[in-house]
Structure 1
Amino acid sequence: MTEFTPDDAADLWSVADRMAYAARAAILPHFRSGGLATDNKLAGGFDPVTIADRAAETAMRDVLADLRPDDGILGEEHGSVAGTSGLTWVLDPIDGTRSFISGTPTWGVLIALSDETGPVMGMIDQPYIGERFMGGLGRCNWTGPRGKGALATKSTTDLSQAILFSTFPEIGSDDQRTAFQRVTRAVQLTRYGCDCYAYALLAAGQIDLVIEAGLNAYDVQAPIAVIEAAGGIVTQWDGTPAHDGGTTLAAATPELHAAALSLLNG
């Protein structure tokens, strides 16, 4: 794993903050603006992309070209660029574009920095609300309209007392849906539709579990860094690392993670 000095960490967080503000400026003029055009990236389904998605990623890449030209980039809208530093910025300019075009403020900007072992720092930024959740390289905190504070996951250990979030009720394949439903029957409450904001709520100690499938690296690397910094656990459904995407099981405690993992695997 790459070693970072405190000065390195401060510089990298400064770059992430610059990117987040640049993305906010590119996105907010389009949110709830009316008449926003969308393109569909998924044949036979609906995976929307808008001018706001593309403009935000371009704005973040411009920051990196100026401040971190030797780093690699993996972005949802504009692909990957190889770097020479051994570090890669993993960007999702709007995680939750379906929510964005619907006017709900549960989408967010995801920024992660990864080395060969996976994400080492991450940020979940919600521009409309003005909240920012950060984890890794010396940070584990949130800022927002009500000030700022530390992130920490809940201490829940019993599935029957747990709150579970997922973006879609029709999660994954038929087999994955059946596995997911075994967990929903065991928890106290299941809610849907929060996109990346659900992971932020887990890190902030508001909910206990997030379970999803069909994800890409840019969907999960920032949430992984934030949740792990806050004391939680994120893996795939088979318990292996989740930073390359696929399935995710994010849990507030080891006990919840083990119980949900057991149910997911029958």
Structure 2
Amino acid sequence: MAEAADFLAVAEQAADLAGQVIRPLFRSALLVEAKGDASPVTEADKAAERAIRGLLADRLPEHGVIGEEYGEINPDADWVWVLDPIDGTRAFVTGRPLFGTLVGLLHKGEPVLGIIDQPVTGERWIGLAGRPTQFRSGLGGTARCRPCASLAEAELSCTSPDMFEPDTAPRFAAVKAAARRTTWGGDCYAYGLLALGLVDVVVDATMKPWDWAALVPVVEGAGGRCTDWSGQTLRLDGDGTVLAVGDPALLPSVAKMLGG
């Protein structure tokens, strides 16, 4: 029977293809001239996803695909790829390398393989269920979450305060007030930093499956946990909340604060 590791080479090739599309547009004249318009980003997103889908159709036609740009193909298959070519559009538009390509693989709904790839800095996190997370970079660093059993000592990260609704904002505010410090922005890159032991907690909301599917194996392979706000397993039909902690000892207390 096939295992997630059998598909790792395809996942890495998918990330490579996306990077070839994305890098030429980063801080390009076309992007600068757009003055905030999303059209070059949209084209980069779409072209990268088309490249990945073409690879998967050729190599693994029996697999399903869920992507941000082009929807679902065979989503009820045992093996389903979940793609987000540019996670962190605002960072990409403004020339900050705090975005990434996300390539995730689900087996019967469970995230079993995930890649966070930063195509500009050359950083790549590879998570594979049951194995330690790998980190490749010329910048240094080891994929291992750090101990941090107290929220009062924790570095908290969140993509944006704008993602919270009236019912979720107070719950996040309680966690923010209890944490040592809060950093905004980062999208998937923040989860990579958590896997490097530089961030302790990431709290996000309104997340789609393509936003989190690749993150779970990366975070958990580095020793952390990645769940919904109640501390439960993330599901395709979940509520869009995501909580990642580097030290599993933090999970019960933070989940209790966020669970409402």
Q: 2:254 is paired with a residue of what secondary structure? A: helix
Q: What SS does structure 1 have at the residue aligned with 2:9?
A: helix
Deviations 1:171-211 (CA, angstroms, capped at 9, x unpaired): 31012111101001111110001111000111111110000
Q: Secondary structure at the match of 1:99?
A: helix
* Structure 1: unaligned runs, 5 residues or longer: 41-47
The corresponding residue for 1:23 is 18
Q: Is the 8 A contact 1:71 1:86 kept in 2?
A: yes
- Alignment of 1:189 onto 2:193: no
CA contact (8 A) 1:71 1:82 kept: yes
Q: TM-score scaled by structure 2? A: 0.91
1:255 aligns with: 249
Tell me the residue number matched to 1:123: 115
- Structure with more strand by fraction: 1
- Measured against aligned partners, the alpha-carbon deviations of 1:197-248 in whole angstroms (never above 9, x if no partner) come to 0001111111100001001000001011110111111111122222425001
Whether the aligned pair in 1 keeps the contact of 2:41 and 2:92 (CA below 8 Å) is no
Deviation at 1:4, TM superposition (A): 4.5
SS at match of 1:106: coil
CA contact (8 A) 1:119 1:243 kept: no
Q: Residues 170 and 146 of structure 1: is their aligned pair in 2 closer, same or farther, counting only changes over 3 Å?
A: closer
The Cα offsets for residues 10-38 of structure 1, whole Å up to 9 and x where unpaired, read as: x3110011101100001111111133354
Q: 1:140 touches 1:150 (CA, 8 Å); kept in 2?
A: no
Q: How does 1:1-266 map to 2 (within 5 A)?
A: 4-5=2-3, 9=5, 11-36=6-31, 37=34, 38-39=37-38, 49-82=41-74, 86-137=78-129, 138=131, 140-146=133-139, 150-244=142-236, 246-266=240-260
The residue type paired with residue 261 of structure 1 is A
Q: By how many angstroms is 1:146 displaced?
A: 3.5
| Cα distance, 1:17–1:179 mapped onto 2, change above 3 Å | same
Task: Determine helix, strand or coil for the equivalent of 2:29.
Answer: coil
Once the 2 structures are TM-superposed, how far is the Cα of residue 161 of structure 1 from its aligned partner? 0.4
Percent identity, please.
41
Offset at 1:150? 4.6
Counterpart position of 1:43 = none
- Classify the secondary structure of the residue corresponding to 2:230: coil
How far apart are 1:91 and its partner, in Å?
A: 0.3
Secondary structure of 1:175's counterpart equals coil
Give the equivalent residue in structure 2 for 1:45: none
User: What is the alpha-carbon distance in structure 2 between the residues aligned to residue 14 and residue 235 of structure 1?
Assistant: 27
Contact 1:70/1:84 (<8 A) preserved: no
For the 8 Å contact 2:41–2:93, the answer to whether it is kept is no
Tell me by how many angstroms 1:83 deviates.
6.3
**Which has the higher mean CA deviation after the structures are superposed, 178-187 or 244-253?**
244-253
Partner of 1:185: helix, strand, or coil?
Answer: helix
> Residue 97 of structure 2 aligns to a residue in which SS?
coil
Partners of 1:112 and 1:33 in 2: CA distance: 28
Q: Is the 8 A contact 1:71 1:84 kept in 2?
A: no
Secondary structure of the residue that 2:163 maps to in structure 1? coil
* Structure 1 runs (4+) greater than 6 angstroms displaced: none
1:257 Cα shift? 1.2
1:253: how far off?
1.8
Instruction: Give 3-state SS (helix, strand or coil) of 1:234's partner.
Output: strand
TM-score by length of 1: 0.89
